[in-house]
Amino acid sequence: MKTEVKICGLKTAEAVDRAVALGASHTGFIFFAKSPRNIEPDDAGRLADRIRGKAKVVAVTVDADNDDLDEIVAALKPDILQLHGSETPDRVLTVKAVYGLPVIKALSIRDADDLKKVEPFIGIADRFLFDAKPPAGSELPGGNGVSFDWTLLDALDGSVDYMLSGGLNVNNIGEALAQTRTCAIDTSSGVESAPGVKDLQLMESFFDAVRQAEAVTARSGSKT
């Protein structure tokens, strides 16, 4: 697969093993108490040990302080930190300096103005993750199963490296890849039977859909 796929919110050995066997490039573990995908650092570390070296291990946090990050990094030994809260560019720089790890900065997108939030992080964040803004009443910054208008990304500078997230599932991933031409995607709720419960069959169908979309792109490219 050419597309990098991050399966986020993993909590069981079966789901971790299956994600990597299907071709996931990144595995995400969420440390946020309000999330149904929240996991304890020691449990996440044991799961990550199953696939370490086969896929990147990503620690997903929301405005975590250094004490929390110390515990997470020690237990999980992540390859990447994903900051999914209201972290500032200065905070990202501090986290990178303290832990010596690359950082994915997640940003919530609803309209064109939201893309302006990218600029202060350019040259600081190693990669961006664009997620949809949460619906009214949600306490979760991500994993809400909603998408945003992908055409907004047409205005983005082509040098910005990002993962596309937000409501991606087997039914819309083909359109998402065709519209954005992104090389990296992230899904969590899109491969679940219930919040926090990964469905192995849905996961397999999702990867099949990604491969089908890649094949369509390859065929169209060969005709130009």
pLDDT digits (tens, 9 = 90+) for 43-60: 999 999 999 999 999 999
* Mean pLDDT value of segment 191-219: 94
Give pLDDT, residue 4. Answer: 98
Residue 161 clears pLDDT 90, i.e. is over it: yes
Of 66-80, 154-168, 192-206, the poorest mean pLDDT is in: 154-168
- Model pTM? 0.92
Provide the pLDDT for residue 217. 77
pLDDT tens digit string along 103-124?
Answer: 999 999 988 999 999 999 999 9
Looking at residue 141, its pLDDT comes to 55
Q: What is the mean pLDDT of the chain?
A: 92
Give me the mean pLDDT over the 190-206 stretch: 97
97: pLDDT strictly greater than 80? yes
Percent of the chain with pLDDT over 90: 84
How many C-beta atoms lie closer than 10 Å to residue 28's C-beta? 29
Element (H, E) at 70: helix 66-76
Give the per-residue pLDDT at 98. 98
d(CA 85, CA 96): 16
Classify the C-alpha dihedral 120-161-102-34 as positive or negative.
positive
Within 81-222, residue ranges assigned H as helices are: 89-99, 173-180, 200-222
pLDDT tier at 218 (50, 70, 90 boundaries)? confident
Give pLDDT, residue 221: 60
Q: What is the pLDDT of residue 143?
A: 53
Q: Of 96, 166, 86, 156, whose CA–CA distance to 126 is shortest?
A: 96
Choose among 138, 163, 142: nearest CA to 153.
Answer: 163
Residue 220 has pLDDT above 90, yes or no: no
pLDDT recorded at residue 34: 92
- Residue of 65, 49, 62, 57 lying closest to 27 (CA atoms): 57
Question: So what's the pLDDT on residue 57?
Answer: 98
DSSP state of 52: B
